[in-house]
Amino acid sequence: MIITLKDGSKKEYESSMSVIDIANDISAGLARMACAGEVDGEVVDLRHVVDKDVTLNILTFNDDSGKGAFRHTTAHILSQAVKRLFPEVKLAIGPSIENGYYYDFDKETPFTNEDLEAIEKEMKKIVKENLPIKRFELPRDEAISFMKEKGEDYKVELIEDLGKDEVISFYEQGEFVDLCAGPHLMTTKPVKAFKLLSVAGAYWRGDEKNKMLSRIYGTSFTKKAELDAYIQKLEEAKKRDHRKLGKELELFAMFDEGPGFPFFLPKGMVLRNTLIDYWREVHNRANYQEIATPIILNKELWLRSGHWDHYRENMYTTVIDELDYAVKPMNCPGGMLVYKNKMHSYRDLPLRVGELGLVHRHEMSGALHGLMRVRNFTQDDAHIFMLPEQIKDEIVGVINLIDEVYKVFGFKYHMELSTRPEDSMGSDEDWDMATEALRQALDENGLDYVVNEGDGAFYGPKIDFHLEDCLGRTWQCGTIQLDFQLPERFELEYTGKDGEKHRPVMIHRVVFGSIERFIGILIEHFAGAFPAWLAPVQVKVLPISDKYNDYATKVVDGLKAKGIRVEFDDRAEKIGYKIREGRMERVPYLLIVGQKEQDENKVAVRSRAKGDEGATLLDEFIVRLEKEIESKEIIEAEEK
């Protein structure tokens, strides 16, 4: 058989061989680093036997799938340690996830920090034991009996949900056996750098009607230095947590009276409105028209749009005049009605219509997370109605608009093309046409992207934009969704050049995604130290003593006259205390005034980026700040 490797080179073997044996034949060093294999595009176990001509890629920790196998093995080491220390605990599921892994356990009392320490200690023992990891299979009925004998009820339920003819695979390491499809490492030995991070509650199978389980999160790496760097990044993320900073900086609040429904405080509203003003500026330049649609609309609309059938469990409903209504989870059906409000000609298209629409979606209480996961949020939606021949140009126009916005905030990003999901509506022909249109727009403009199979919206494929923040974390925000379905369902029409009626094609798109979530991302990205144009308070004026309050008032009035957001700290506190507070509040500029400044009509400037900058004329400072605000400049602190 001929094995074609990733670099195009070929290896020839006379008989079948496992992936790990082929890796060893290529290089002993590669075999030591191998975590899994990829055969003809399919990720397989290192034990997988190759018996025909294939394309083979040996996956290491540097590959996402290799990393997944490594961390999945760590999850098994975790569950083995738990079973050794707490034999009565029942096992649920334990996959690898981005940046780590978790395992769900049915334990009568939640795990404590002391438990995690003991579990980590036992995991280290398991790694040192260098236990060989073996795979074996059983027919479905035997697999059920096997798990019943072990008292693993959750595993039995998982197997019973599989087809009757399924062959069930297990992985064994020492005394521990787990139901698992794999892949896994060859032994426990390579997993030396790991850390258990936290415990959380998780409903079995994500259903709040089921029992709450204890979920242990962890991470693992091949090198201790990489683990230490990751832990350090997590510590930095804790300092930047938008929930903590949002409270300290008085931006937003969450109350028990409205779980998942954020309250924006005065300073938070300044930040929010500044973002919205910028959004309007960008969209006005790009020839968008703005509309507003109602929050509550009747059931018939949501049946027509498909949301009632495909999204009902996430919708809030009510009854008005004995008829069913729903609180909108999305803005698009209202946008359809606006389009239908009058007849359109081909000359009107493309028609770009934007909306800052408040939507409500039901999220389980355990999934709520500050501004990142809420039950009501404002989508910066827009819908573009166009002719078929305008599709590519409009997609490129949206990509350029999103690129412009993200660059203002200093974000890097990557794009993903998401294709048809299982739960979808529409013909294969429409889906193929829509997907190909998105692909061509990306390819013809030389844009890099990855394909995310099966992750499109239920009505069409999409391009997703994943932001990367200063800690290297990614956030899916912007999206461009091409839709042939809603124009059909709502019978949208335009009059063509031929005088006949035709269906427009439609794009759904957002830039921020959710304004609330985007604010949460910005808080963490900037650690609350927003650029001057975004900062709720741009300048704070600090008189050295109350003798200089009159002059300080003149400074404040001069700044306000120029539209600069300023606060006056006239408290009878020492100036050092006021400066420290101003720095804690992350105000871009503190202006200190005393006798000398008053005599010379100056201000002593202390900036967040450079510290003490000395005295300057007030007018000169205002000109400088106006330029910084106008340019939306991001000024980073100089290294000391």
Give me 346's structure tokens. Answer: 């081909």
- Cβ atoms of residues 327 and 317 within 8 Å: yes
Active site residues: 332, 361, 379, 381, 383, 462, 508
| Burial of residue 463, with CB atoms counted within 10 A of its CB: 0-12 exposed, 13-18 middle, 19 or more buried | buried
Give me 335's structure tokens. Answer: 């946008």
Cα separation, 147 vs 156, whole angstroms: 6
Q: How many CB atoms lie within 10 A of CB 102?
A: 23
Cα separation, 381 vs 415, whole angstroms: 19
Cα separation, 177 vs 161, whole angstroms: 20
**3-state SS string for 135-162:** EEEEEHHHHHHHHHHCCCHHHHHHHHCC
Which residues have a Cβ under 8 Å from the Cβ of 497 and sit 6 or more positions away? Answer: 346
- Cβ atoms of residues 379 and 514 within 8 Å: yes
Cα separation, 126 vs 176, whole angstroms: 11
Beta bridge partners of 589: 539, 607
Sign of the dihedral through C-alpha 509, 515, 520, 525? positive
Among 291, 307, 421, 424, smallest CA distance to 360 is for 307
Among 337, 372, 402, smallest CA distance to 525 is for 372
Among 557, 556, 547, 554, smallest CA distance to 595 is for 547
- Cβ atoms of residues 323 and 299 within 8 Å: yes
